[in-house]
Amino acid sequence: MNREPRAGRGRPTGPRAFLLAASFLITLGSFAVLPYMSVLLHDRLGLGLGTVGVVLAVASLVQFSGGVVGAALARRIGLRGTMLVALAVRTAGFGAFVPGLGSPVVAVGALLLVSCGAALYLPANKAYLVEGAREAERPRLLSMSGAAFNAGIALGPPAAAPFVLSSPGVLFAVVTALFAAVGFGHAALPRTDGPGGVPSGSRASAGRPDGALLPFAVTVVSVYAFMFFQHYLALYAVPRTSASFYGVVLMAYAGLIVIAQPLLSRWIAGLTYESATRVGFSAMAAGTAAIAWGGRTGIGAGAALICLGEIVLFLKNDLEALARSSAAPAVVFGRQRLAAGIGAFASGVVGGQLYGMAEEAGRTEAFWLAVSLQCVVLPLSLTSAVRRGCAGVMARRTRSARSSSS
């Protein structure tokens, strides 16, 4: 068959099952090294924290916002072809890290290459999963995809912890081989009819100018808040605990997503968007405040709360974006990645400066308190601004309609 069959009520089979397994392996390899990137760049290669922040910001911007390019590529060569190109680029990037461990310039170039591959891959991956699926089936499919990715996150950091500083060259070589093998497996996937079908039951309409804008804006802030945890927890937690404890925290974090997101997917889908954002950002605010408390208890509890925020916000944002848009899923996911890229870039730039100042003052816990405050203030400010902007658009449309009729 040239098209993946419609999802049933049981476990996915065939191409979808392979894609979920591949998602686990891809994230396993990626998170064996990427969570330690700030440590490698700062401690091994000697880059300053401000420079590390900018590098991570640019890499995040490329990784996320490049999803728009991935969606455009999928329209030309299809979903499978796009995933194959993405995996080839990412394999080359990880391979370039082997000689790059002795050169900051080469290492940064390799990181950007890895980010380019990730940018191309994920919109096509998610679109392939929901191709032909009913709207009611999407929460389960997307939550299973999130669970597969996070299962890899759970195992990658602790597996790599003993080698990331002592034998990073061997580690990157193994990751490169893993990505090459996964890429060959993707070549056997059947083609789809296109970049993803038009969502059924779309709620987008010309009368709702906020259709896709609100999920886009909320995604920007969601990823902005989350990436402080992603980028800077290692610098904060490892000196206070150990690299092994940090790996265990990430493993438990990802394991919680693997278990909880599929179980909560129907509940999250049933929440209003306003309720979901309230729950998600409240959890992130409480979690970053707990991290500021410090110690193993504070860091562990904070990670669990941030995990809840991620589960609710990331899934609900994707579901709302799909439901409010009449575009093909690959295009919708590409736009969502662009929103994530904007948030990640801003988080990297702001976070590097804030953390550097907090470290110089000897008060790194203040960094997490500042993030907690932003998790309260920014969602309210941004959603209010979006609604005011949409009200202005509606007012201008009304005035234009009245002028035309007169």
Q: For the residues of 365-376, what is the DSSP string, one character each?
A: HHHHHHHHHHHH
The domains found in the chain, sorted by start residue, are 15-197+205-405 (1.20.1250.20)
DSSP string, 2-49: -SPPPP-SS---THHHHHHHHHHHHHHHHTTTGGGHHHIIIIIS---H
Amino acid 392: pLDDT: 62
Give the C-alpha separation, 111 to 51, whole Å: 14
pLDDT of residue 388: 67
- Report pLDDT for 12: 67
SS3 266: helix
Q: Which residues of the chain have pLDDT under 70?
A: 1-13, 193-211, 383, 386-406
| Distance separating alpha carbons of residues 370 and 2, to the nearest angstrom | 51
pLDDT, residue 200, reads 37
Can you give the pLDDT at residue 166? 76
**CB burial of residue 382 (10 Å; 0-12, 13-18, 19+):** middle
Asked if 375 and 285 count as a contact pair (C-beta separation under 8 A), the reply is yes
pLDDT of residue 6: 46
Distance of CA 348 to the CA centre of its chain: 14
Helix (H) or strand (E) run with residue 274 in it:
helix 273-293
Helix H or strand E segment including 90: helix 67-100
DSSP at 165: T
Contact 381, 390 (CB under 8 A): no
Provide the residue type at 69 as one letter: V
User: What does the alpha-carbon distance between residue 53 and residue 132 come to, in Å, rounded to a whole number?
Assistant: 41
Determine the pLDDT at residue 99: 80
What SS3 string covers 302-339? Answer: HHHHHHHHHHHHHHHHHHHHHHHCCCCHHHHHHHHHHH
User: The tokens of 20 are what?
Assistant: 């979920």
